[in-house]
Amino acid sequence: MNKKHIGIIGGGLTGMTAALELLKDGHDITIIEGGSQTGGLAAGFTFEGASLEHAYHHAFKTDYDILDLIQELELKDQLNWFDSSMGVYYNGQLYPFRTPIDLLKFPPLRFWSKFRLGLTVLYLQHTKNWKRFEHVTAAEWMRKHCGKQAYEVIWKPLLHGKFHQYADQVSMAWLWARIHIRANSKEKGDSREKLGYMTGGFHTLIHALEERLRKEGVQIHLNEKVRGVRTAEQGTVQVETEQKTYTFDEVISTVSTHLFSQMLDSKDTTLANYKKQLASVQYLGAALVIFSSEQSLSPYYWVNVNDSASPFLAFIQHTNLAPTSWYNNRQVYYLATYVPHGHRFFTTDEAALKEEFFTYLKKIFPQFSPEQIHNTQVMRLRYAQHIVDTNYAEKMPAHVTPIPHVYLANFSQIFPEDRGMSYAIREGRKQAQLLRERL
């Protein structure tokens, strides 16, 4: 096999894993990352003396690719498994939502609704044939099988809170994957769900991966935003950043499908249909308020806030998973929601956003005292979630693009599973294998 100079756009988990794999074939590899650090959506920042992800992250027992990479980088002893706990806030009350007993006791639903909901979830946990769900919306399927009441109380707030104007277009295949995969994140003989989190956060993995790549000769350029990708002479590819122009034999882009589309030559009319296809993949952003406090507010790691009046969809008490001793003995929280790009949460100033989120938090937890907050951080992520609708398989972009020697690998190609770190690693490996077969 000829040694090639391969350029990878984006230093998230997909890009770095593809680099790790292609290194094994002896290629020269350069990663061009627009941000100030590697890790992309899974990257962290220093908060209460530790590295914390910009957005809440955990791993499931079924996340085989991340488990495998953790093993490959000899970090197995840094991965901890914690009991997960979940609650639901509905109609002014917080309820446990962990076990079938919790469901049976759940007062907002009548017995018959609980029975149907329980049976439906059980069926989705066990059925492997997701193809039957692909062309039906989650809203339609859930309404039909769980009944109107369970749909209104449980599924509608979740779908609308997460997907806004796209809520009624989301495929049941997406929801099946969420329920089916989570159900198997358990240890043998234990019925409780286990979630994985690393000592030092997932930065431990990202840092080790970056170190390995640099040690093996991969060039990693940070703070270099790619502006253009085009075919150059003798079948090479030019990648233009704000600082310089690189020439590669092969290029893998791991940025979101929309950003990739903007990098393509606007004068090349042969790409018009391809660009239209890329633009048909819809994305939502995410807005998060992170804070630390002396106060412990909830007994749960995760609370779904099933109220359309709430500015956030999920309340996450991160330190009900990871120990407070990692964070100066303080509690660490995320208040998180998904929003369309035009939403005011992308323009509202940080103080106003925090005020809005904290005001609602006091409704859920009247004992919440903003005076006891130590640190806060606001995060806004533009390409946080793509919309898997009932025609998604047709619009999903391929790994091979119409531009010779240019490939695309990002989370919009993960289907029917939802995006996640482990799937990013799987995509990186898949892309490396594809390139290997074509060289």
Ligand X SMILES: Cc1cc2nc3c(=O)[nH]c(=O)nc-3n(C[C@H](O)[C@H](O)[C@H](O)COP(=O)(O)OP(=O)(O)OC[C@H]3O[C@@H](n4cnc5c(N)ncnc54)[C@H](O)[C@@H]3O)c2cc1C
Chain positions contacting ligand X, by CB under 6 A: 9-15, 32-35, 40-42, 55-59, 225-226, 254-255, 259, 286, 336, 381, 384, 410-411, 419-422, 424
- Check whether the bond before 96 is cis (ω within 30° of 0): no
Question: At its nearest, how many Å lie between ligand X and the CB of residue 33?
Answer: 5
Of residues 51 and 422, the one with the C-beta less far from ligand X: 422
Question: At its nearest, how many Å lie between ligand X and the CB of residue 420?
Answer: 3
- DSSP sequence for 179-205: HHHHHT-B-TT--SBEEEEETT-THHH
Of residues 66 and 154, the one with the C-beta less far from ligand X: 66
Please report, in angstroms and rounded to a whole number, the separation of the first and last CA atoms in the chain: 7
Question: At its nearest, how many Å lie between ligand X and the CB of residue 140?
Answer: 26
Of residues 259 and 403, the one with the C-beta less far from ligand X: 259
Question: At its nearest, how many Å lie between ligand X and the CB of residue 425?
Answer: 8
Task: Return the SS3 of 350.
Answer: helix
Do 377 and 334 meet the contact criterion of CB atoms below 8 Å apart?
no
Q: Which helix (H) or strand (E) holds 397?
A: none
Which residue sits closest to ligand X, CB atoms considered? 40
DSSP 43: -
Question: At its nearest, how many Å lie between ligand X and the CB of residue 127?
Answer: 23
**Tokens matching residue 231:** 């075919």
Question: At its nearest, how many Å lie between ligand X and the CB of residue 423?
Answer: 6
Question: At its nearest, how many Å lie between ligand X and the CB of residue 339?
Answer: 11
Of residues 114 and 386, the one with the C-beta less far from ligand X: 386
- 243, amino acid identity: Q
Do 291 and 298 meet the contact criterion of CB atoms below 8 Å apart?
no
In angstroms, rounded to a whole number, what is the distance separating the alpha carbons of residues 316 and 302?
5
Q: Minimal CA–CA distance to 142: which of 160, 165, 129? A: 160
Of residues 113 and 185, the one with the C-beta less far from ligand X: 185
> How would you list the strands of the sheet with 250-253, edge to edge?
219-221, 28-32, 5-9, 250-253, 406-408
In angstroms, rounded to a whole number, what is the distance separating the alpha carbons of residues 55 and 384?
10
Do 175 and 138 meet the contact criterion of CB atoms below 8 Å apart?
yes
Angle between the N-to-C axes of helices 13-23 and 203-215, in degrees from 0 to 180, rounded to the nearest 10: 30
Task: Return the SS3 of 22.
Answer: helix
Task: Return the SS3 of 282.
Answer: coil
Of residues 16 and 117, the one with the C-beta less far from ligand X: 16
Question: At its nearest, how many Å lie between ligand X and the CB of residue 314?
Answer: 9
Buried b (16+ CB within 10 A) or exposed e, 274-286: bbebbeebbbbbb
Of residues 58 and 405, the one with the C-beta less far from ligand X: 58
Question: At its nearest, how many Å lie between ligand X and the CB of residue 204?
Answer: 14
Of residues 87 and 147, the one with the C-beta less far from ligand X: 87
Of residues 168 and 418, the one with the C-beta less far from ligand X: 418
Of residues 419 and 430, the one with the C-beta less far from ligand X: 419
Burial of 188 (0-12, 13-18, 19+ CB in 10 A): exposed
Question: At its nearest, how many Å lie between ligand X and the CB of residue 10?
Answer: 3
CA torsion sign for 180, 182, 185, 188 is negative
In angstroms, rounded to a whole number, what is the distance separating the alpha carbons of residues 398 and 307?
38
